[in-house]
Amino acid sequence: MRHLRLMVAAAAVCAALANAAARAETINVYDDHGGIVPEYDAHWAALAARGVDVRIVGPCQSACTILLAHIPYDHICVTPQARFGFHQAKFQRSTDMLWAGYSAGIRAWINARGGLTPDFKWMGAPDTYRFFRKC
């Protein structure tokens, strides 16, 4: 009888965990033109601590791209309209924060297009599919 109660309790815990995972919060990112890098950094760090998933459904540019420093890439999906806009920030410290947050693959993609400069480097499909799953 005790063994049966333990099995039922274990099944209940497993069901609760599966249900919680299925209800993970999804944040949609679209038409985000960025802003102050340290503010975006804190925002995305807090969302990452909650374990959110992110769906990129439109442009994510400038400071918005700091999300790549915090959200695991397997928690990010992209639609065909997803675009990342990479460029130098106004202050070197902010540029350094952005650059440090990008994966080696993203940095290589940016470097192949001249590196971070004041001008945007736009990554859209199909390049986004090399790094993130399709939604």
Q: Note down pLDDT in tens along the chain; length 135 residues.
A: 433 333 333 333 333 333 444 457 999 999 999 999 999 999 999 999 999 999 999 999 999 999 999 999 999 999 999 999 999 999 999 999 999 999 999 999 999 999 999 999 999 999 999 999 999
Q: Is 48 helix (H, G, I), strand (E, B) or coil?
A: helix
Of 118, 130, 131, which is closest to residue 62 (Cα–Cα)?
118
Q: At what angle do helices 92-101 and 37-49 cross, to 10 degrees?
A: 30
pTM exceeds 0.85, yes or no: no
Task: Please tell me the distance from the alpha carbon of residue 62 to that of residue 96, in angstroms, as a whole number.
Answer: 13
